[in-house]
């Protein structure tokens, strides 16, 4: 790593926030073309414009103009070049559920030993990942990237830019089903994260209930030479490289057989987790496995995670007005909703009330998946289920709670406030577009 590397400039793709001296890339999207805002960019003092249509550059712009065929490609190549100069240890994570929590855990652990930069918010796509890289300061020793996808090939392209040293796939669910015709298609698209791993690289997976993912990972390890680290709950050490066992809602024990001598049980460490839910222990085990590739021990990982600050609205317990609200409004999929509902069932407190909204991007299976989520809520024996949105009517049907369905958020909030009792525990969940955090704030006000 070259700690003397200097960052050549600040980069921007947003005309609203560009600063004087910045380099501006005029990206062209389905709905917006940044070339239409080049006059504003020039007025704000940009030093350089990277464009695909030079005719739209203001005649009085005195800075440098670079004309390329594809401005997004150019932006990504700029990020890749900066990454090669800084040369950090790169961790990349993807999956249908839990990738943000895992990213937060990995970054938290690595910060205890290395100068670390990580994805902020939801910057995990074709524009967000390059932005994260270009925002990386000189001297960065570890880079943690979250990678999302909507279409086949996206994660492969992101890994072509980032060339990760260690990767993880949290799980294969049904998110983004509208762009894929099968679970196999989703699995293959997520597995693209291993595309550029070589003999010095590592892939971490939890193969439970997904023999297809394990088969792909083993085949890739044999062909590319990377280390395959499996994570599992319970069982024996012959099955998983890293094993986790629950110690309650907010703790778990993680054991790593790779530190053991023949006949010994391996290194074990108790982890206190400031985040709850079924995926917390899995995420902690995966994070420990990933960070071991940077020389971090289980004891170091456990100590670091005590200071974890997770992304807001991710299974976040919030107290107020005599009630507990579990804010899980960041986004929603059937898998994450299942995990949240199961967590709600075991949280100590009074009445257990689920407030569920539409889940988007589920394609032709949307009605069935919403209905099954409602049926699960009913099977868990929750005290009440309320739903909001056109698609969520199927959740209400599955839960046999049609009288708790609302087409207007205001009416939903009014019903919840009118029925609120001391000690109630609410679980709030819905896709990002449903803005269910507004319900959270109303309940806590």
| Cα–Cα distance, 151 to 93 (Å, whole number) | 17
What confidence score (pLDDT) does residue 259 get? Answer: 46
Query: Where are the chain's structural domains?
Result: 11-68, 75-305, 316-444
Q: What pLDDT shows up at residue 378?
A: 96
Three-class SS state of 99: helix
3-state secondary structure (DSSP) of residue 432:
helix
Distance CA 251, CA 276 (A): 8
pLDDT at 6: 63
Reported pTM: 0.83
CA 37 vs CA 17, 60, 259: distances in Å: 12, 14, 57
> What percent of the chain has pLDDT above 70?
91
Whether 11 shows a pLDDT value over 50: the answer reads yes
pLDDT-based confidence at residue 309 (cuts at 50, 70, 90): confident
**Contact (CB, 8 A) for 386 and 315:** no
Q: What pLDDT, on a 0 to 100 scale, did the predictor assign at position 235?
A: 57
pLDDT, tens digit, for every residue of 134-188?
999 999 999 999 999 888 999 999 999 999 999 999 988 655 555 566 678 889 9
Neighbours of 352 (CB within 10 A): 22
More confident site: 306 or 311: 306
* Residue 258 or residue 393, greater confidence: 393
For the domain 11-68, what is the CATH superfamily, name and number?
Answer: MurE/MurF, N-terminal domain (3.40.1390.10)
Which superfamily, per CATH, for 75-305?
Mur-like, catalytic domain (3.40.1190.10)
Half-sphere exposure of 191 (CA within 13 A, CB side): 20
Average per-residue pLDDT for the chain? 90
DSSP string, 137-188: PTT--EEEEE---SSTTHHHHHHHHH--SEEEE----STTGGG-SSHHHHHH
In this prediction, residue 306 carries a pLDDT of 93
> What pLDDT was estimated at residue 165?
98
Task: Check pLDDT > 90 for residue 414.
Answer: yes
pLDDT score recorded for residue 263: 40
Predicted local confidence at residue 261, as pLDDT: 40
- Calculate what percentage of the chain has a pLDDT beyond 90: 71
Mean pLDDT throughout 11-19? Answer: 94
Selected residue with higher pLDDT from 315 and 397: 397
Residues 196-206 have pLDDT tens digits of 999 999 999 99
Which pLDDT belongs to residue 182? 65
For residue 160, what are the contacts with CB-CB under 8 A and spacing of at least 6?
80, 195, 196
Least confident of 76-90, 257-271, 412-426: 257-271
Lowest mean pLDDT among 81-90, 178-187, 310-319, 357-366: 178-187
- 1 has pLDDT over 80: no
pLDDT-derived band at 109 (thresholds 50, 70, 90) equals very high
Give the tens place of pLDDT for each residue, 349-405. 899 999 999 999 888 889 999 999 999 999 999 999 999 999 999 999 999 999 999
Q: What is the pLDDT of residue 423?
A: 95
Give the lowest-confidence range in 46-50, 109-113, 257-261, 382-386. 257-261
Which CATH class name applies to 316-444?
alpha beta
- Strand-pairing partners, residue 356, are 387, 429
d(CA 48, CA 45): 9
Q: If you average pLDDT over residues 402-411, what whole number do you get?
A: 97
């Amino acid at each position: 790593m070259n700690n003397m590397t200097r960052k050549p400039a600040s980069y921007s793709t947003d005309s609203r926030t560009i600063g004087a001296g910045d380099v501006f890339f005029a990206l062209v999207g389905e709905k917006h073309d940044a070339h239409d805002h080049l006059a504003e960019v020039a007025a704000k003092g940009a030093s350089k414009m990277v464009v695909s249509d030079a005719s739209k550059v203001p005649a009085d712009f005195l800075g440098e103009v670079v004309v390329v065929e594809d401005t997004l490609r150019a932006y990504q190549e700029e990020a890749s070049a900066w990454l090669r100069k800084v040369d950090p240890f790169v961790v990349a994570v993807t999956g249908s559920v839990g990738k943000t929590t895992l990213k937060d855990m990995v970054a938290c652990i690595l910060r205890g030993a290395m100068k670390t930069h990580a994805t902020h918010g939801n910057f995990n796509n074709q524009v967000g990942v390059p932005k994260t890289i270009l925002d990386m300061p000189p001297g960065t020793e570890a880079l943690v990237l979250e990678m999302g996808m909507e279409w086949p090939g996206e994660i492969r392209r992101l890994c072509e830019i980032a060339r990760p040293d260690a990767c993880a796939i949290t799980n294969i669910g049904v998110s983004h089903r509208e762009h894929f015709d099968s679970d196999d298609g989703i699995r293959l698209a997520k597995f693209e994260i291993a595309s550029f791993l070589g003999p010095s690289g590592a892939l971490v997976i939890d193969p439970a209930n997904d023999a297809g993912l394990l088969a792909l990972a083993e085949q890739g390890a044999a062909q590319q030479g990377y280390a395959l680290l499996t994570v599992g709950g319970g069982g024996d050490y012959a099955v998983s490289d890293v094993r986790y066992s629950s110690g309650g809602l907010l703790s778990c024990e993680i054991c790593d057989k790779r530190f053991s001598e023949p006949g010994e049980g391996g290194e074990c460490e108790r982890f206190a987790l400031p985040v709850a839910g079924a995926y917390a222990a899995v995420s902690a085990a995966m994070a420990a496995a990933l960070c071991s590739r940077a020389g971090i021990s289980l004891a170091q990982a456990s100590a670091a995670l005590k200071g974890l600050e997770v992304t807001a609205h991710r299974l976040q317990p919030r107290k107020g007005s005599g009630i507990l609200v579990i804010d899980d409004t960041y986004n929603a999929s059937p898998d994450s909703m299942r995990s949240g509902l199961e967590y709600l069932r075991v949280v100590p407190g009074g009445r257990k009330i689920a407030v569920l909204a539409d889940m988007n991007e589920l394609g032709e299976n949307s009605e069935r998946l919403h209905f099954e989520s409602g049926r699960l809520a009913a099977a868990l024996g929750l005290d009440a289920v309320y739903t909001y949105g056109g698609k969520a009517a199927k959740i209400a049907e599955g839960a046999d709670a049609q009288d708790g369905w609302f087409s207007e958020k205001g009416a939903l909030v009014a019903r919840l406030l009118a029925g609120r009792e001391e000690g109630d525990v609410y679980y709030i969940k819905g896709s990002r577009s449903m803005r269910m955090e507004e319900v959270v704030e109303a309940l806590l006000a």
